[in-house]
Structure 1
């Protein structure tokens, strides 16, 4: 028996020393520059930061089961080792003295190539261009905390420019080398009249995304199977589609002389695309990029930067230190990426290692249809705009739930729970996600009848009376208010997000239990059907010499039905091949609920920051499109702000039921004390950091009652 044991041990040792099959991994790190960040500015005890830019080169084994949910990976070109290669930009900020870091590698999932990490946490980070260039640290919150920050490209259809993070991935081909073709639906919505659009142009994608080329620039001659592309226009999402004759448009760019210059990636409409119209092109495209490799890049880069000493050529890991934790954060589209990343099982690499120890999806309801043939990950999920793109298939919950409409029982964390690789998760969303993004479905059963508790590793925090991203100040002082009927909602996320990030760091690094979840619930009446919302009547007014129409509550939501994209589409994983466009609506409707409000129209439940706990007006998670802009539909991603009257008499003269500023805060001292009380209560619940509470309290004392947002 002893000899057999020794022999078995020797066999195991030989097996471990023998060459192992290739693993998906980062094979090479190429550092282009290492330089002082932010002009060498020092950040409290952490000191100055360094910035490292370059590229990471990775490869994926198409035969490994861990990569089975990368659509068309088997049809991608391979290198001599039988692997599929990709390249991604990397941009890293690290403390110059790494011993002063906090032990957290904080990865950001860029939003359509744009760096989105600083804005939710640091104040005054500047424009998108300045954030992409990492030109302004703002107030330096993340730097003062000692985070090492990582940006990388994951969306291979994002075009270079404006310091966007890009990724290079191959196009899939048929086994005989011929192009793969398929159906693509493009939706065009313009802010101002235009004659030419890229085929990828949309409300969120503009001219910054590459397009799938048409198989033929001749839009008037049917293909051999009889297919002919179509262009339609309509006034709103549920309006009839009106055909635009093929003789009135073409694939190409509109020339000054009125002709169309052929271009397989553009469309020309000589009469012009008009604002306030939905244009829908359905065409036959070719050469789908293997976009699902973005999940592999997010997985393998995290494992490499946290755990590896060096790449295959011996280039040292630029931020490798023992004992670090990897956290991932993404906003909006990027939050949906994180949820789908987890749902598809990518938090486990091919060697069984966990990629991210913690995750913070921010305003990221729904899922990301990235691993899909001819995927369009830049699209969204609005009530009027991008309504029919596959961003909201079941499952909606982190927990495993039965869906009576599809018959499936699923949860976003099913795969990582099976293999023990689930991260700790803070899910942070705004009131707008409740109104327009169907966020309630992540809190309840699919029909909206019962609350569903989160798994033990998940905490959900809804930021009351906030819009998708706070509108910058100052607000416009005369109509039109952008595309909307009302001034947009400037209620900031920063104070709450700073507290949540700090708490998540303490949970993953130190084992400190997180703050109590905060969300509306069916059980206590704070999550209701739209017809039960007791929204106040807010009349037209001219408070502060700004003329506003009445704020009209219409009891609307963004409805959701199961959609049929054809037999080749796998709705359970958001993968496969779409063959039906536009999709067919299946029977049944999901139970979308919304927050109940108080007498001021402010959400009753969720985290009420100082702005809404001590309000100077009504803040909502919804706004309506203005006339000739999808009128009365949800003004996409925008909430509303309507100030209170300044005096009781002004309120009475207007017929406003909401108390005036002078009735709420009779003196500046009373206002400051109210702010301090609210701030202290938030600190006690760990929804506000003590230093931020002190800052807000001092501002109230020194500046007096806020009269503008």
Structure 2
């Protein structure tokens, strides 16, 4: 182990021992809130019996006791500066929507964990919501506002301390870790660049999902040709695909600096210049020695502390009133993708118990968030994700995978995601929701089975799992592209929505949390009924090239590939069992043995059989898949990140025969408008009975079919 690593690990213990002999530390919590603005929301619109809403913005100031057992897990908490009371401070932005008359709300605080600074809840629960990042955060295109109609109070706060300001992002200010003598903490960092357009410069934090919105960890030395005292030199490599060998780019051909036009670089400790140019469809991997890590794990504490404050504190220490307080409040935490993974990690690390020992969130709904979040890691890069081609080697899918406790034969550990909250009696009622893409591309099957994929595993009593059949990570917006190339993919993306299912499930979760109403059973593909299988067992039909609707599409290429998972070794100081610690080995080494990743079985159309089938799959106008392939020049034939496919049916029997398409045409499925409307009415009625579709949504969907007839396009 390198000397810098030993020093970094020893420092927290020294600091904690010193603090232990000091007088008793003060209670740590949200100590102060500052309300900057209170204004009418949504133009003063009234929502039935709930009435009008207000929007409250400001800041919350928190303090964390590094000696409290629930905080000891926070990486580098012992290297953070302390105030006079021996506590570590942070400041977070807050943004709140509340009924103007709080007594008219439904008594539920809905705290959404932001996704890379973005508010996404309205997109998942409101029909017609959307917009760019700034519009999302300004709530400028909110859709039908179901959450307000139902009376929820919405809470957002900053939790990701490496976000840069802009586009209305909520920020979290946390300290930089430093050694007790004031010297900088350093360590190895791996940055993966996958540009979608030619460029000469990348921020050291830039990646497929992080772009220019994340703070970079500075290099300890801007001269990339100068070895450090221990002989370390940074390296830059390139390859066409994740699975191909790395090709070294000599240090004479790049530098730490900025060269926007490819000319002479101006030195910079947070940027990299490649005069030959970074090319799209290539993976560039920089490994360098960085300094000044943020104590990123305080993001967990901020969510815990403000969640607890919002739920049960009438006022702060100075007497400022809690802007969402009700004596009977219940709290549900929600988040999608990155934020869903954070919720799972939040629970796993025990943060649903506040410093007073009370449960914070009564309910949780992590969406499209299989895996875990490496927030609590020195030089954490929480904006990175997982993928078959991009971000494949970042910490994201370490065991444990499931909420149930089980044994992992590869690592030898026995764990479950709810171990800590079960020990303290602080587990929430939980709905785990995911799309089928997470099963195909994101190894979500490991949350449904044992680690080797040999048997189904039942959810704990407090958990329900819903896998949305034949859906991609986020439903494609309409209209779809009508000519090749279809973005970066070979086929048109998948518009099969999550929204209607999410609305019904949140309503059911609220009834479970607030009223004790038993929720629907889990709906997921299973090994036992043949709906969850090994990839080589999938029976996918041969779908030919076609020009249905005057859109030319290539034949669908099902090549039977998945996204295998091996246990990754990031070095002896990384605690994989806690998704925490210090990474010292980059790139990580992979174990030879792989986990048993499975995928959904397909029906005769190529759509998923198992899982929660949407109305658009039950009354289909085409095939919806949860996978798509990158096009030529862009990691060709690898999984096209987060994209599924939509391949429409022929309109007539003759058209499908001419194309040699084995799938029935729309004409053969729905001979008339009346037949289509009847199919919609029967399917929506069944879904309402299953409690996976709201009655008002069923009426709207049937009404749309009656007015518009058979859908011929998404």
TM interval, shorter chain, is over 0.9
Q: Look up the SS of the partner of 1:338 in the other structure.
A: helix
The 3 A distance-change label for structure 1 pair 217 and 115 is same
TM-fit CA distance, 1:587:
2.6
Q: Aligned partners of 2:591 and 2:482: how far apart in 1?
A: 44
TM-score under structure 2 length normalisation: 0.96
The residue that corresponds to 1:237 in the other structure is 242
1:267 to 264, 272, 281: 272
The residue that corresponds to 1:105 in the other structure is 109
1:377 to 369, 374, 382: 382
Indicate if the aligned counterparts of 2:39 and 2:54 stay in contact, CA closer than 8 A: yes
2:42 to 38, 41, 44: 38
Indicate if the aligned counterparts of 2:200 and 2:260 stay in contact, CA closer than 8 A: no
Q: Look up the SS of the partner of 1:679 in the other structure.
A: helix
Q: Aligned partners of 2:111 and 2:685: how far apart in 1?
A: 31
The residue that corresponds to 2:18 in the other structure is none
TM-fit CA distance, 1:20:
7.5
The residue that corresponds to 1:391 in the other structure is 396
Q: Look up the SS of the partner of 1:383 in the other structure.
A: coil
1:219-258, Cα deviation, whole Å (9 max, x unpaired): 0111111000000000000101000111111111105471
How do 1:471-490 and structure 2 match up within 5 A? 471-490=476-495
The residue that corresponds to 2:442 in the other structure is 437
1:59 to 53, 56, 63: 63
The residue that corresponds to 1:6 in the other structure is none
Q: Aligned partners of 1:169 and 1:78: how far apart in 2?
A: 12
Q: Aligned partners of 1:166 and 1:412: how far apart in 2?
A: 28
Q: Aligned partners of 2:121 and 2:599: how far apart in 1?
A: 28
Q: Aligned partners of 2:594 and 2:570: how far apart in 1?
A: 17
1:192-227, Cα deviation, whole Å (9 max, x unpaired): 001111100001000000000000100011111100
Q: Aligned partners of 2:532 and 2:524: how far apart in 1?
A: 9
Q: Look up the SS of the partner of 1:295 in the other structure.
A: helix
TM-fit CA distance, 1:317:
0.4
Q: Aligned partners of 1:239 and 1:53: how far apart in 2?
A: 48
TM-fit CA distance, 1:524:
0.6
Asked if 1:343 corresponds to 2:334, the answer is no
Q: Look up the SS of the partner of 1:482 in the other structure.
A: coil
The residue that corresponds to 1:677 in the other structure is 682
The 3 A distance-change label for structure 1 pair 214 and 535 is same
Asked if 1:629 corresponds to 2:634, the answer is yes
The residue that corresponds to 1:13 in the other structure is none
The residue that corresponds to 2:592 in the other structure is 587
How do 1:391-410 and structure 2 match up within 5 A? 391-410=396-415
Indicate if the aligned counterparts of 2:200 and 2:262 stay in contact, CA closer than 8 A: no
Q: Aligned partners of 1:691 and 1:21: how far apart in 2?
A: 53
TM-fit CA distance, 1:24:
2.3
Asked if 1:126 corresponds to 2:120, the answer is no
Which range is displaced more, 250-259 or 395-404?
250-259
Q: Look up the SS of the partner of 1:118 in the other structure.
A: helix
The residue that corresponds to 1:494 in the other structure is 499
The residue that corresponds to 1:26 in the other structure is 30
Indicate if the aligned counterparts of 2:25 and 2:86 stay in contact, CA closer than 8 A: no
1:696 to 694, 698, 701: 701
Indicate if the aligned counterparts of 1:516 and 1:685 stay in contact, CA closer than 8 A: no
TM-fit CA distance, 1:350:
1.3
TM-fit CA distance, 1:138:
1.1
1:423 to 399, 424, 428: 428
Q: Look up the SS of the partner of 1:441 in the other structure.
A: helix
TM-fit CA distance, 1:702:
0.7
Q: Aligned partners of 1:67 and 1:24: how far apart in 2?
A: 10
Q: Aligned partners of 1:100 and 1:259: how far apart in 2?
A: 63
TM-fit CA distance, 1:136:
2.8
Q: Aligned partners of 2:559 and 2:655: how far apart in 1?
A: 26
Indicate if the aligned counterparts of 1:115 and 1:165 stay in contact, CA closer than 8 A: no
TM-fit CA distance, 1:67:
0.3
Asked if 1:311 corresponds to 2:316, the answer is yes
Q: Look up the SS of the partner of 1:588 in the other structure.
A: strand
TM-fit CA distance, 1:21:
4.4
TM-fit CA distance, 1:304:
0.3
Indicate if the aligned counterparts of 1:543 and 1:644 stay in contact, CA closer than 8 A: yes
The residue that corresponds to 1:86 in the other structure is 90
Asked if 1:553 corresponds to 2:553, the answer is no
Indicate if the aligned counterparts of 2:439 and 2:599 stay in contact, CA closer than 8 A: yes
Q: Look up the SS of the partner of 1:135 in the other structure.
A: coil
TM-fit CA distance, 1:460:
0.1
Give me the CA root mean square deviation: 0.9
> Where in structure 1 do 4 or more consecutive aligned residues deviate above 2 Å?
none
